[in-house]
Amino acid sequence: MNSRRDFLQKLAASAIAFPSLSYLTTAAPLTGCNTLHDGPVLRVAIMGLGSYGTRVAEAMRSCTKAKLVGAISGHPDKLKSWQTRYNIPEKNCYNYENYDAIRNNPDIDAVYVITPNALHKEAVIRIAKAGKHAISEKPMSVNARDGQEMVDACKKAGVKLLVGYRMHFEPHTLQVVGMRKSGQFGTVRFFQGLSGFTIGDPTQWRLNKQLSGGGSLMDIGIYSINGARYMIGEDPIWVTAQEIKTDKVKFKEGVDETIQFQLGFPSGAVASCLSTYSMNNLDRFFLDGSQGWAEMWPSTGYGPIKGRTHLGEINQPIVTHQTVQMDEMSGIILQGQQPVVPVDGEEGVKDLKIIDGIYAAIALGKRVDLQL
């Protein structure tokens, strides 16, 4: 993209292709500031001020419909530095003991939970009980039963629950989804998802089952699980899976290193996927249909996402995923907008049912039926 005019022309073209994406229907730059939006603004507190929480906070500086206004952390020093860095008032800062008091804070609409996986459930339930909307990072929890409890708690409290599926708002991804929906690939028969990276520090929470709930599948394999569903456009009805472990010291009991899994869909389409903590260069989706194909590589990293189809390169705006995600989530929570690909709690539970199914298929050594 060479000029602002090219950029705006691309935005306009995108708006025709994806009319429900409000950020693409205005000429506002994707890295704008809060003054460009005159509708409601979602006021968000982030819980868990770690690496991804910081990425989201930085991205939210450019949001037009969402604003970072609060923080929850067990580290007083981090709260102090976030107050300065993001202009967060002291009265909107909490720790893990006292954050239920957020119910008395009219200046916060929603809490975004960005802590280790196994801690999402308790946090979301407490947030719901405090009458605030909840956004949970992926995986929403560590099994489908816990995920369903989160959905039920939010329903009971009358608050919304969303899952941080940033790819559901990514323009290249949405172009492929749109092409599949309009039949441009013909009958879709096959999806391949490769998700993985070589994990470092063996002492990190991602390799501790108590906090992570599993291994690579919970953390990175979930992108292939979720991607198989939005690329094929169906929910799977069976799963088979095989686990490979080369390092039993680093990847202890219950922490998967590498898993291959296959998903079967009602139409007869199949997905073949790899999830790993021991290989790099694996961030690739391939979709094959009777009349065409799509390849995305990288497919789910922070970007830029790149893709091509049988018709040529996919040419969509490069966006900061978390900026777009939070603006779109504002529209979903405050204005009842419907995303192209759902990001609600029920969507998170579906992925957890597949994860439960994959672990069961490995344990049983046979195909497991799924009911999503």
Q: Closest approach of Cβ 145 to ligand NAD, in Å?
A: 18
Q: How far apart are CA 247 and CA 167, in angstroms?
A: 31
Q: Site residues for ligand NAD, window 40-69 (CB under 6 A)?
A: 48-53
Considering the complex, state which of residue 96 and residue 293 has its C-beta at the smaller distance from ligand NAD: 96
Considering the complex, state which of residue 37 and residue 120 has its C-beta at the smaller distance from ligand NAD: 120
Residue 143 lies near ligand NAD (rule: CB under 6 A): no
Q: Closest approach of Cβ 115 to ligand NAD, in Å?
A: 4
Q: How far apart are CA 30 and CA 4, in angstroms?
A: 12
Q: Closest approach of Cβ 51 to ligand NAD, in Å?
A: 3
Structural contact between residues 84 and 107, judged by C-beta atoms closer than 8 angstroms: no
Q: How far apart are CA 87 and CA 64, in angstroms?
A: 16
Residue 205 lies near ligand NAD (rule: CB under 6 A): yes
340, burial (CB in 10 Å: exposed 0-12, middle 13-18, buried 19+):
middle
Tokens linked to 182? 């309009």
Q: Site residues for ligand NAD, window 231-250 (CB under 6 A)?
A: none
Q: Closest approach of Cβ 222 to ligand NAD, in Å?
A: 8
Among 70, 147, 164, 339, interactor with ligand NAD by CB under 6 A: 164
**3-state DSSP assignment of residue 101:** helix
Q: CA 81, 87, 92, 98: dihedral to nearest 10 degrees?
A: -10
Kindly list the distances between the CA atom of residue 135 and the CA atoms of 20, 51, 118, 239, 336, in Å, as whole numbers in the listed order.
21, 17, 15, 28, 15
Considering the complex, state which of residue 168 and residue 353 has its C-beta at the smaller distance from ligand NAD: 168
Residue 219 lies near ligand NAD (rule: CB under 6 A): yes
Considering the complex, state which of residue 223 and residue 359 has its C-beta at the smaller distance from ligand NAD: 223
Q: Closest approach of Cβ 131 to ligand NAD, in Å?
A: 23
Binding-residue pattern over the window 98 to 137 for ligand NAD, x denoting contact by CB under 6 A: ----------------xxxx-x-----------------x
Considering the complex, state which of residue 211 and residue 270 has its C-beta at the smaller distance from ligand NAD: 211
Considering the complex, state which of residue 66 and residue 179 has its C-beta at the smaller distance from ligand NAD: 66
Q: Site residues for ligand NAD, window 292-311 (CB under 6 A)?
A: none
**3-state DSSP assignment of residue 290:** coil
Q: How far apart are CA 202 and CA 198, in angstroms?
A: 11
Give residues with Cβ within 8 angstroms of 68, minimum separation 6: 44, 45, 46, 57, 60, 61, 86, 88
Q: Closest approach of Cβ 289 to ligand NAD, in Å?
A: 28
Sign (positive or negative) of CA dihedral 243, 249, 252, 257: negative
Considering the complex, state which of residue 257 and residue 288 has its C-beta at the smaller distance from ligand NAD: 257
Q: Site residues for ligand NAD, window 69-88 (CB under 6 A)?
A: 74
Q: Which residue's Cβ has the minimum distance to ligand NAD?
A: 50
Q: Closest approach of Cβ 52 to ligand NAD, in Å?
A: 3
Count interface residues toward ligand NAD (CB under 6 A): 19
Question: How far, rounded to the nearest angstrom, does the alpha carbon of residue 124 sit from its chain's CA centroid?
Answer: 16
Phi, then psi, of 41 in degrees rounded to 5: -115, 130
Give residues with Cβ within 8 angstroms of 174, minimum separation 6: 17, 18, 21, 316, 340, 341
Residue 112 is among the residues annotated as catalytic for this protein:
no
Q: How far apart are CA 179 and CA 158, in angstroms?
A: 35
- Catalytic residue (one of 223, 230, 277, 359): 223
Residue 286 lies near ligand NAD (rule: CB under 6 A): no
- Catalytic residue (one of 67, 132, 138, 353): 138
Residue 354 lies near ligand NAD (rule: CB under 6 A): no
Q: How far apart are CA 140 and CA 104, in angstroms?
A: 26
Q: Any idea which residues carry the catalytic annotation? A: 138, 223
Which residues would be at the binding site for ligand NAD (CB under 6 A)?
48-53, 74, 114-117, 119, 137-138, 164, 166, 205, 211, 219
